[in-house]
Amino acid sequence: MTNADFIANAIAFMHPDDCGQLFVPSSTRESMPLVPNYSLDEDGVDSVKVLMATPNLIVFEAFRPKGAIDRMHMHADHHAVVYQKMGRVRMMIDAETYIVEAGDTYRHPMGVKHQHEALLDSIRIEIKYYPDGNAVESWNALVGGAHTGE
């Protein structure tokens, strides 16, 4: 994907005015409920807003209410690094379980099963790295299309 194509693409959960920008006024953007493609029969456990996107990265903020849990799942196309901004979660990564507190950081490599359970209302900042590119197309497929914050 060329840079021009990237900028022209709608990015799910990102305000269209923010696509391709060097600065994004994320503090003025609202989160929207997310139902990922691996749990279409769930009501969605996160509210998300994309903070920044490039051809290889998607950076987003996600709110998860206390008690919400997603299914054990993995991603074949990206790695993730996560900063826990607020709250507490039980994070299962592969065969290990961690209690993640505000200020902690964790990662789940590409192809590794993982699951989040919010023990308290929680906010995380997640960086998804797509080594083969196509971050926007892969992200939009994961989250069910171009839900933009217009």
State the residue range of the domain holding 63.
Answer: 3-141
pLDDT per residue over 27-38, tens digit each?
888 888 876 666
Establish if 146 belongs to a structural domain. Answer: no
Give CA separation, 96 vs 3, 35, 101, 102, in Å. 39, 25, 16, 19
Establish if 129 belongs to a structural domain. Answer: yes
**What global pTM score does this model have?**
0.85
Give the chain's mean pLDDT. 85
**Number of structural domains found in the chain:** 1
The distance from CA 45 to its chain's CA centroid, rounded to whole angstroms, is 12
Establish if 147 belongs to a structural domain. Answer: no
In this prediction, residue 43 carries a pLDDT of 52
List the CATH number of the domain containing 16: 2.60.120.10
Establish if 149 belongs to a structural domain. Answer: no
> Reading across the β-sheet that carries 57-64, which strands appear in turn?
32-34, 46-53, 57-64, 122-129, 79-86, 105-108
Rounded to whole angstroms, the Cα distance separating 148 from 76 reads 25
pLDDT above 70 (res 60): yes
Establish if 93 belongs to a structural domain. Answer: yes
| DSSP category for residue 73 | B
pLDDT per residue over 6-29, tens digit each?
445 678 888 888 888 889 898 888
pLDDT above 80 (res 81): yes
